[in-house]
Amino acid sequence: VSDQVTHPAPDRMSEAVARDLLENSWIDVQSHTKTHRVLSEATDEKIKEELVESKKTLEGLFGRPIDYLAYPTGNIDQRAVDQAQEAGYHLAFITSYKKLKNLAEGPYTMPREKISRTSDNLFEFWVKISGIYRAFKRQRHLALRAQS
């Protein structure tokens, strides 16, 4: 969330912390929009602003391409998908298969695994990153979609 990097709250990542992380080749910083707005509830103009301004700000701060986007809350619609592509992102991620709704899975609607400091123990973390969890969730999503 680019506004939080440039104007950090005590519990958010600052520009200095992001720069420190970027010194590690295993870590990357990408976009999560400008203000963490729920894009499916925003106007077309606000969606564009959230995506374009975040990309522009982060590229300016870190001097590197910002190619990936994680949609806030995963709540998106076709307008957000189209705007992400138009803004120049190469891939964009939703939080789960159920957030796809009627959208097709593709480069701008890729489900990701949510890992947080409060929701996962070590075994759950391993299951999520191993691919087992993703395979199960995808099969479940496809079965439910076939029923409807």
Q: Over the stretch 91-137, which tens digit does the pLDDT of each residue have?
A: 999 887 777 788 888 999 988 777 666 666 777 777 777 778 778 87
Enter the pTM of the model.
Answer: 0.76
User: What does the DSSP 8-state code read for residue 24?
Assistant: S
Helix (H, G, I), strand (E, B) or coil at 93: strand
CA distance 49 to 84: 11
Residue 33 · residue 49 · CB < 8 Å: no
Beta bridge partners of 31: 69
Question: Among 86, 26, 79, which Cα is nearest to 55's?
Answer: 86
